[in-house]
Amino acid sequence: MPTLDLFAILSLFMVLIAIRTLVTTVRHRATLFDATFTRADRQHLAEAAFFLLLPIGVLFHEIGHAVAVRAFGGEIVGFGYYFFFGYVEHRGFYTPADLFWIALSGNLVSVAMGVAAIAFVVLRPLSPPVNYLLFIFGAIDLVNSLVFYPVLDFAGGLVGDWSQIYTRDTPVLSGVTGAIHVGLLAVAVVAWRSDRVRRLYAERTGVSPHVVRRVTRTEAASDLLAAGEQVAATWRHPLRVVADAQGDAVGVNLHWVSGGYGRVVGAYAITQGWRRVELHGGLQAIDGNGASHQQPLGVIEGIPRPPELAEALARALDVVDRWEIPAPHRR
């Protein structure tokens, strides 16, 4: 029971975070669920999916166990629910197959809820924020059921559902379940790596397609260079296109001269973690006085394809081409 007590204490601590999340979600519901769905909104709704919807999934998980216990003639002698953790204590005269199904039942409920949430987003989509909330909840519920709980059970010594599901006492049932378990994980990985699935996800959740586009560092460098050369072919001033790399970022710098200044727009792609393209601009007087200025121009979520990158670069060029450095004030 010490392990269960630890999880109960941890779950109750997480309830405090859930209360804060509920308060902020209610307070900002108008902006969270409006037509402008920002990255900050997505971060908040992902938190809401975990701290507000996951406890509902945990409750139904435990109810699934309780229903199975009664179905196999058992008696429930204890029921614990701590929002992020729960348990069902029971007794009865069971066969190994009965115990298998009792252990599996809660996880079947969790998997069904996760699949249903994602299927609803695909088949009966609502607004992008609601779709995103449901999708993230479904993904979390599936990962918890098919990855986190099994790992915690075996590696953490919890001796819970999955220890009973994968027991030698039910070789056929355990073997079939194992094959389905692996198959579901494989399907999930293959589906998420599919460009078609990612585009559908972006369409349903209001995310720009390039946010979910998978791009390597080399591909990003090639895309930026292609975009720079595309802009250089039509820009009103001669451009010098220079590829660059700084730390984890790859980029391209566009140099030109106009209005007595040497000017530059830089675009750098980060392909690890939060994938994005950072735009920077700068200019320096060419009359020898050393006056210069530089500043960020903005951030593009994800890595767009060359045509979209070229459009963003062209807009940045227009902005920087209008910059001037104020003359120093003299008394």
- Domain range annotation of the chain: 2-207, 217-321
Task: Identify the CA nearest to 300 among candidates 283, 280, 319, 321.
Answer: 280
Amino acid in position 36? T
Strand order across the beta sheet in which 249-258 lies: 240-246, 249-258, 261-270, 276-285, 292-301
pTM for this prediction: 0.83
Residues 225, 268: contact at Cβ < 8 Å?
no
CB atoms within 10 A of CB 262: 14
> For each of the chain's 331 residues, which pLDDT tens digit applies?
455 677 778 888 899 999 999 999 999 999 999 988 998 999 999 999 999 999 999 999 999 999 999 999 999 999 999 999 899 999 999 999 999 999 999 999 999 999 999 999 999 999 999 999 999 999 999 999 999 999 988 887 777 899 999 999 999 999 999 999 999 999 999 999 898 999 999 999 998 888 888 899 999 999 999 999 999 999 999 999 999 998 889 999 999 999 999 999 999 999 998 899 999 999 999 887 778 899 999 999 999 999 999 999 999 999 999 999 875 544 4
**pLDDT for 330:** 47
SS3 254: strand
Map residue 179 onto helix, strand or coil.
helix
* 302 torsion bin: left (phi>0), alpha (psi -120 to 50), beta (else): left
State residue 303's pLDDT score.
94
Can you give the pLDDT at residue 291? 81
Q: With beta carbons less than 8 A apart as the criterion, state whether 62 and 81 touch.
A: yes
